[in-house]
């Protein structure tokens, strides 16, 4: 939404709602801010794009599709890439795809789209030098080490500070610890996806307040790697950790793991300190800990139940759908069996009326089944 507002101001000189709009989250009563029309440019999440495809599988009103931050390799992004590949075949003369990222390997994407003879376009950004320091924590806890590192470096660097931590709980605990000895003219703020838009805007639209607070220390998750930009950031403290879901196929449960980030994520975090001036990045881990060059694609570690249902809704064969990283066929087959057990598809893998309803809800099919069954069981009580 913040990106749409900025583009609208540069494009029209006014806010969103004329040439530039956006679509995020579900559209419902009380959530009018989730849908703002635009005649030329529409920003939307990958999940909303897939839902739009359910209403028009050829996307007749779209001529150019820009897939930004493709390196993050979320499950929905990989599905969007597959849909884009199919549309380039069926709409070869009037549909264009732009893949944008700061860290992807272009060769892999060109091979996926069968455009190996194409040349990727590199757009140089205005990035200032960022020095890197490795300072692994040993005897202290991660949060104590992070806070003491901020306090030791705060007066040596101007501008705001970003502190990357794995999750919401760590952020709250770190802020509480930091506030015990917070420097003058400084405010500590959280930034993670579960915050309200108003709370996120406290960071994104920060300016010196009436009390003379001039600097922020923002304790954030990986949402600040690419999705959101905090201007005037000159110091980054990187824990090197991230929380990510992983699906346990044996028990059919999703567990949340805290894992070491990839080298590409580490570079993204470092780059946050070099947008407006020279910066400094302190990594609270050893350089040898960066063993993975890229982010592990979510499609290789997530439940595919909802994704398979979405593909069946689009009348696409999940077992033949093009994916840049193909999961094992047994995983897809297990999801198809579950959808059949939930009466979302029939024996011929044709979507049922219930399957269409579940696809529109946009939830894990098992959650949708629970909600619908609960509603039907207690419908008479709810109507009182």
- For 263-278, write each residue's pLDDT tens digit: 999 999 999 998 888 9
Distance in angstroms (rounded) separating the CA atoms of residues 270 and 238: 8
Class of domain 130-293: alpha beta
- For 139-196, write each residue's pLDDT tens digit: 779 999 999 999 999 999 989 999 999 999 999 999 999 999 998 889 999 999 889 8
Distance in angstroms (rounded) separating the CA atoms of residues 67 and 98: 6
The CATH superfamily holding the domain 2-112 is P-loop containing nucleotide triphosphate hydrolases (3.40.50.300)
pLDDT band at 137; cut points 50, 70, 90: confident
Percentage of the chain surpassing pLDDT 70? 94
Q: Is 166 left (phi over 0), alpha (psi -120 to 50) or beta?
A: alpha
The answer to whether 212 and 186 are in contact (CB under 8 A) is no
What pLDDT, on a 0 to 100 scale, did the predictor assign at position 383?
62
CA-based nearest residue to 366, from 313, 321, 309, 317: 309
CA-based nearest residue to 284, from 138, 384, 183, 178: 138
The full DSSP string for 316-331 is --TTT---SSPPPHHH
Q: What is the pTM for the complete model shown?
A: 0.84
């Amino acid at each position: 939404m913040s990106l749409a507002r900025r583009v609208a101001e540069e494009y029209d000189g006014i806010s969103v709602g004329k040439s530039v709009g956006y679509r995020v989250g579900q559209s419902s009563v009380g959530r009018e801010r989730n849908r703002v029309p635009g005649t030329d440019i529409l920003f939307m999440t990958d999940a909303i794009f897939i839902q739009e495809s359910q209403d028009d599988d050829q996307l007749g009103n779209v001529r150019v599709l820009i897939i930004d931050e493709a390196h993050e390799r979320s499950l929905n992004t990989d599905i969007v890439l597959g849909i884009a590949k199919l549309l380039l075949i069926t709409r070869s003369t009037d549909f264009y795809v732009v893949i944008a990222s700061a860290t992807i390997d272009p060769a892999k994407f060109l091979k996926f789209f069968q455009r190996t003879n194409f040349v990727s376009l590199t757009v140089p950004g205005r990035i200032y030098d960022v020095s890197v320091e490795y300072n692994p924590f040993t005897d202290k806890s991660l949060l104590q080490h992070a806070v003491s590192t901020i306090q030791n470096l705060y007066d040596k660097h101007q501008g705001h500070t970003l502190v990357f931590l794995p999750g919401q709980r760590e952020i709250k605990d770190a802020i509480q610890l930091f506030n015990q000895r917070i420097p003058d003219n400084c405010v500590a703020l959280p930034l993670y996806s579960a915050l309200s838009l108003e709370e996120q805007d406290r960071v994104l639209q920060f300016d010196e307040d009436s009390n003379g607070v001039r600097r922020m220390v923002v304790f954030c998750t990986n949402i600040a790697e690419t999705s959101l930009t905090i201007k005037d950031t000159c110091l980054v403290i990187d824990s090197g950790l991230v929380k990510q879901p992983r699906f346990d196929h044996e028990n059919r449960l999703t567990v949340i793991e805290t894992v070491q980030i990839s080298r590409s994520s580490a570079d993204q975090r470092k780059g946050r300190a070099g947008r407006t001036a020279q910066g400094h990045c302190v990594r609270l881990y050893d350089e040898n800990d960066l063993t993975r060059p890229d982010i592990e694609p979510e499609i290789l570690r997530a439940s595919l139940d909802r994704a398979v249902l979405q593909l069946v809704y689009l009348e696409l064969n999940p077992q033949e759908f093009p994916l840049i990283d193909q999961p094992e066929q047994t995983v897809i087959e297990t999801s198809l069996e579950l959808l059949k057990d939930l009466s979302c598809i029939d024996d011929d893998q044709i979507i049922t009326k219930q399957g269409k309803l579940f696809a529109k809800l946009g939830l894990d099919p098992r959650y949708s089944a629970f909600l619908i069954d609960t509603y039907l069981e207690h419908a008479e009580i709810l109507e009182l």
